[in-house]
Structures are given as structure tokens and as C-alpha cells.
């Protein structure tokens, strides 16, 4: 019930505040930085929409609608260019918008890049570098796909194998069609609570390999990354190597690998050291924060909000837009107004 109520309240908050957005964006004194977060950019009928989390997906049409709408109020700029100009004491626009994509999905190349080129809008893609150019993907996507297939095909052997390898949570054997997505998300949430990402990865790798044999890679390859970076429109940042959550349970050695080696891989593949870092799941232990500060110019979190001119470059706030939170002009405006007002996010 709480889960049902919250989106309704959010929708009500967006509807009530949408009218305030133009006034806030044009009228407030000072300069601000709005950072948008996207993940996957998928056509409305793409098969991945069956198993991917709703908050991960936007259509190219909605992406273009968001950017054209926000372009009426904001100047688009690369995140590190805004920081450079801010630090040099330059006069900045009242509202600057920096566009970011998390993870490094191949659909960013196939569907988002054309929109960004057509509108000449710069963006940063945060890459999980060890996964680029592989069919590995990320465990929540893999597991979502496995679970939906297992329930659809009554594959109890697969569900028992999952329960054997990851026994601390409950694995429902059969689920009504209409509840499958919600139950899959619950299983994923439970796993995040009880297991480390590397243990889940290890448990799923063998099971998933058989199922994924003919799978197309979901993630970018380095050739696609370079083709986008060569235009100057796309910059790369790090999102770790393996998309591990950087909480206190991850050891120092793995932190160095996920934070430091990731930067070296981007520099080696593109010729440029990445400026920024994005924390998977928004998790950041104090040791991770320290290492990220030493390696990167700036870092972004999943905390919603608009950044003031004097903002500290580590822990920048962002606004996540997807087909749910950005279905119409009014929902986008409401989302922005709520971020300005610090409510409803």
C-alpha cells in the first residue's frame, strides 16, 4: 500500500508544482547547475522493456521532448566545462543543464546519440569499464530476465539452482503474470540487502551463461565509445569497473580496482583521463569518497536536487528522468519545480 501511495503522492506533487517551474528557472537570482540522469534509451516495443526496471528506461521521443523543453530555460554544457568556468570566475547562465547517462548501455549509441547530435547537446556517459564490450551486463538485468523466463516456463530447476546458490532470500516458484515484475524487483531488493555484488555475480554467471548464449550485448563496446567521444559531444566518466556498490563491505583492494583502474581503462581506450565518477546505486563509503576525490575532478550521486553556484564538485545532485517521471511536459516541469523546492523527490 505504501508503495502504491507514494507514486500517487509524487504525481500529485508534480501536478501541483508544474506551473511554478518556469518562474523558478527564469526568476531566481544566481546561477544553478541542473544535472539530468538517464540510463537506457529504448524504443517503446523493445523486448528489454519486459524485464528492465521501469525507472531505467526512456524512449528517444521522450528524451528529445525533455531536452527541447529544458533547452527553453537552460544552456546545455559539459559538466566539467561548467566547473572550469565556475572556478575561473566566468559569468555563467542562470540555469545550466548537464546531461548524463549511467552504465554504458549500447542503446545510448543506437538511440540517444542521434538525438544529442541533432540537437547538438553535450552529454557524459559513465561507464562500468570492465563490462564494456562484453555480454556480461549487470546482475539485476540478468536476474530480472532469468526470473521472468523461469516463471513463464515453469522452470523449477532453475529456481532451485538460484535458491541453492543464494539461500538467504526466498525464491517464489510460481507467480501470477500480473505480479511478476513487482516480485522480481522485490527479489532484487532483497539480494542487495543480503549479498555483495561480486557474490551475486559469481552465483549468476554459470546459470546465466547457458541462458544467454545467443544474447546480443546490452552494453557499449569501445569502438562505439570512441566514435561518440571523437565528436567532442560525448565525454566519458567512470561508473566503476564492475558496477560494485562502494559500501563499507568492499575491501580496499577492490575499491582501488573499481575506482583507480577504471580511470586508467578509460584513459587507455580513449586517450583522455575521465573527469568524473558516478557511484553505483549512490552508495559511497568514506574510504570510497576519499579515493574518488584523489582520482577524479568531480563525482555525482543519485541524491535529487539542483546544484547552487558554490557547490562542492564531489557529491553533485542529479534529477533522474525516465518514461515514468518524464511522460509529459507537465510531469517534467513538476519534477524540476519539486527539485528546486526540495519536495516530492
Which residue's Cβ has the minimum distance to Zn ion?
Answer: 102
Nearer to Zn ion, 62 or 242 (CB): 242
Nearer to Zn ion, 235 or 244 (CB): 244
Nearer to Zn ion, 280 or 305 (CB): 280
Query: Residue 293: helix, strand or coil by DSSP?
Result: helix
Cβ 211 to Zn ion, closest distance in Å?
22
Q: How far apart are CA 294 and CA 257, in angstroms?
A: 14
Nearer to Zn ion, 127 or 175 (CB): 127
In the Cβ-directed half-sphere of 139, how many Cα atoms lie within 13 Å?
25
30 closest CA partner among 69, 86, 76? 86
Give the CA angle between residues 203, 185, 108 to the nearest 5°: 85
Query: Residue 51: helix, strand or coil by DSSP?
Result: coil
Nearer to Zn ion, 131 or 291 (CB): 131
Cβ 240 to Zn ion, closest distance in Å?
9
DSSP-assigned beta bridge partners for residue 276 = 298
Cβ 132 to Zn ion, closest distance in Å?
13
Give 253-257 contacts, CB < 8 A, sequence gap 24+. Answer: 254/198, 255/285, 255/287, 255/288, 255/291, 256/291
Nearer to Zn ion, 122 or 137 (CB): 137
Confirm if 314 and 293 have CB atoms less than 8 A apart.
yes
> Among 14-22, 70-78, 272-280, 337-345, which window interacts with Zn ion (CB under 5 A)?
272-280
**Number of amino acids touching Zn ion (CB under 5 A):** 3
Q: How far apart are CA 254 and CA 338, in angstroms?
A: 37
Cβ 231 to Zn ion, closest distance in Å?
24
Tell me the three cell numbers of residue 250: 568492499
Cβ 253 to Zn ion, closest distance in Å?
22
> Among 52-60, 76-84, 116-124, 279-287, which window interacts with Zn ion (CB under 5 A)?
279-287
Nearer to Zn ion, 24 or 125 (CB): 125
Cβ 280 to Zn ion, closest distance in Å?
5
Give 20-25 contacts, CB < 8 A, sequence gap 24+. Answer: 20/337, 20/340, 20/341, 21/333, 21/334, 21/336, 21/337, 21/340, 22/73, 22/333, 24/336, 24/337, 24/340, 24/341, 25/73, 25/74, 25/94, 25/95, 25/336, 25/340
- Site string (280-299) toward Zn ion, x via CB under 5 A: x-------------------
Nearer to Zn ion, 137 or 305 (CB): 137
> Among 17-25, 193-201, 273-281, 334-342, which window interacts with Zn ion (CB under 5 A)?
273-281
Residues in 188-227 that interact with Zn ion by CB under 5 A: none
Residues in 114-153 that interact with Zn ion by CB under 5 A: none
Cβ 243 to Zn ion, closest distance in Å?
6
Residue 290's alpha-carbon distances to 256, 260, 278, 279, 314, in angstroms, are 11, 12, 14, 13, 10
Cβ 56 to Zn ion, closest distance in Å?
9
Residues in 77-106 that interact with Zn ion by CB under 5 A: 102-103
DSSP-assigned beta bridge partners for residue 300 = 278, 316
Q: Which residues bind Zn ion (CB under 5 A)?
A: 102-103, 280
Amino acid at each position: 500500500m505504501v508503495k502504491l501511495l507514494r507514486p500517487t503522492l509524487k504525481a500529485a506533487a508534480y501536478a501541483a508544482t508544474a506551473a511554478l517551474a518556469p518562474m523558478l528557472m527564469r526568476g531566481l537570482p544566481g546561477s544553478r547547475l541542473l544535472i539530468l540522469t538517464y540510463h537506457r534509451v529504448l524504443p517503446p516495443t523493445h523486448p528489454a522493456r519486459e524485464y528492465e526496471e521501469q525507472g531505467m528506461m526512456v524512449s528517444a521521443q521522450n528524451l528529445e521532448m525533455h531536452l527541447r523543453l529544458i533547452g527553453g530555460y537552460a544552456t546545455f554544457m559539459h559538466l566539467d566545462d561548467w566547473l572550469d568556468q565556475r572556478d575561473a570566475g566566468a559569468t555563467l547562465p542562470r540555469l545550466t543543464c548537464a546531461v548524463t547517462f549511467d552504465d554504458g548501455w549500447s542503446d545510448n549509441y543506437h538511440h540517444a546519440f542521434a538525438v544529442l547530435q541533432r540537437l547538438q547537446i553535450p552529454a557524459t556517459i559513465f561507464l562500468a569499464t570492465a563490462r564494456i564490450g562484453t555480454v556480461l551486463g549487470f546482475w539485476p538485468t540478468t536476474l530480472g530476465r532469468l526470473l521472468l523466463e523461469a516463471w513463464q516456463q515453469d522452470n523449477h530447476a532453475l529456481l532451485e539452482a538460484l535458491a541453492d546458490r543464494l539461500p538467504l532470500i526466498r525464491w517464489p516458484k510460481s507467480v501470477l503474470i500480473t505480479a511478476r515484475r513487482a516480485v522480481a524487483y522485490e527479489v532484487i531488493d532483497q539480494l542487495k540487502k543480503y549479498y555483495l555484488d561480486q557474490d551475486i555475480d559469481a552465483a549468476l554467471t554459470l546459470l546465466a551463461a547457458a541462458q544467454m548464449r545467443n544474447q546480443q550485448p546490452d552494453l557499449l563496446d569501445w569502438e562505439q565509445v570512441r566514435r561518440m567521444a571523437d565528436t567532442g559531444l560525448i565525454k566519458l566518466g567512470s561508473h566503476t569497473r564492475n558496477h560494485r556498490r562502494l559500501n563499507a563491505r568492499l575491501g580496499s583492494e577492490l575499491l582501488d580496482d573499481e575506482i583507480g583502474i577504471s580511470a586508467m581503462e578509460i584513459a587507455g581506450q580513449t586517450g583522455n583521463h575521465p573527469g568524473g565518477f558516478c557511484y553505483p546505486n549512490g552508495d559511497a563509503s568514506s574510504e570510497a569518497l576519499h579515493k574518488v576525490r584523489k582520482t577524479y575532478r568531480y563525482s555525482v550521486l543519485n541524491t535529487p536536487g539542483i546544484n547552487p553556484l558554490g557547490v562542492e564538485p564531489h557529491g553533485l545532485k542529479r534529477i533522474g528522468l525516465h518514461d515514468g517521471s518524464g511522460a509529459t511536459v507537465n510531469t517534467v516541469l513538476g519534477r524540476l519545480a519539486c527539485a528546486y523546492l526540495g519536495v516530492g523527490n
